[in-house]
C-alpha cells in the first residue's frame, strides 16, 4: 500500500534547520498520525510522502514556499506598550498572544522594544526557513468514511471525539 489521498499515515519525523539543529521531533514519543491529502501537513512534506510505503525512510528538503511561506515584513506591527497588561517586563524574543478586533488569536514575538512601543512579529516562527526532515513511514491504512468526512484521522494519534 502506498501513501495517497484517503490514507491515514503514521510517521516519525525529525525537523532540522540548515545548521543541523533539531527544531522538532517525534522520536522517543508516539508517531505523528495524519490523513493524507487534506492539508494536514505542510504541502512540501505531503508531496514527498505521496507514493511512499510502510518502512520507507527518507530525507526531504522543503523550501519556504512549500512550508510556512516567505518571511513577510508587513507582518511587523507597532503596538503601544500600554496595551500590555501584567507585570512581566517586555523584552525581545518574548512570545505574546494577540487578539484582533474580530476575536482571532495569534501568537507573536516581540522583535524590538522601544521607548513607548514594541514591534511585534506576526510571522510564523518558521517563515522563510528551508526545512530539513528525516522521515520514517511507520504505518499506512485506508481512511474510514467518517475520517474522510471529518478531514482528519481518528483513533490513536488522531482526533478523539
Residues that bind Zn ion (CB under 5 A): 150, 159
Q: How far is the CB of 149 from Zn ion (least distance, A)?
A: 8
Q: For residues 35 and 41, which CB has a smaller minimum distance to Zn ion in the complex?
A: 35
Which residues does residue 24 pair with via DSSP β-bridges, in sequence order? 15
Q: For residues 105 and 161, which CB has a smaller minimum distance to Zn ion in the complex?
A: 161
Q: For residues 140 and 143, which CB has a smaller minimum distance to Zn ion in the complex?
A: 143
Q: How far is the CB of 22 from Zn ion (least distance, A)?
A: 31
Q: Who's near 20: CB < 8 A, 6+ residues apart?
A: 132
Residue position matching grid coordinates 512579529: 121
Q: Exposed, middle or buried: residue 144 (CB in 10 Å: 0-12, 13-18, 19+)?
A: middle
Q: How far is the CB of 150 from Zn ion (least distance, A)?
A: 3
Using CB atoms, what's the residue nearest to Zn ion? 150
Question: In 3D, which of 131, 134, 137 has the Cα closest to residue 50?
Answer: 137
Q: How far is the CB of 34 from Zn ion (least distance, A)?
A: 13
CA pair distance 64, 129, nearest whole angstrom = 5
Do the Cβ atoms of 127 and 69 come closer than 8 Å? yes
Q: For residues 16 and 150, which CB has a smaller minimum distance to Zn ion in the complex?
A: 150
Amino acid at each position: 500500500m502506498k501513501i495517497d489521498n484517503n490514507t491515514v499515515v503514521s510517521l516519525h519525523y525529525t525537523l532540522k534547520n540548515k545548521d543541523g539543529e533539531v527544531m522538532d521531533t517525534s522520536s522517543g514519543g508516539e508517531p505523528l498520525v495524519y490523513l493524507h491529502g487534506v492539508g494536514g501537513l505542510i504541502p512540501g512534506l505531503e508531496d514527498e510522502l505521496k507514493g511512499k510505503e510502510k518502512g520507507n525512510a527518507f530525507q526531504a528538503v522543503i523550501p519556504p514556499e512549500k512550508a510556512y511561506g516567505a518571511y513577510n515584513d508587513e507582518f511587523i506591527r507597532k503596538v503601544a506598550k500600554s496595551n500590555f497588561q501584567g507585570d512581566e517586563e517586555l523584552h525581545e524574543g518574548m512570545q505574546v498572544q494577540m487578539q484582533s478586533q474580530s476575536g482571532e488569536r495569534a501568537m507573536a514575538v516581540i522583535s524590538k522594544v522601544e521607548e513607548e512601543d514594541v514591534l511585534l512579529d506576526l510571522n510564523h516562527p518558521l517563515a522563510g526557513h528551508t526545512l530539513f526532515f528525516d522521515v520514517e513511514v511507520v504505518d499506512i491504512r485506508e481512511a474510514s468514511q467518517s475520517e474522510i468526512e471529518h478531514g482528519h484521522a481518528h483513533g490513536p494519534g488522531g482526533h478523539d471525539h
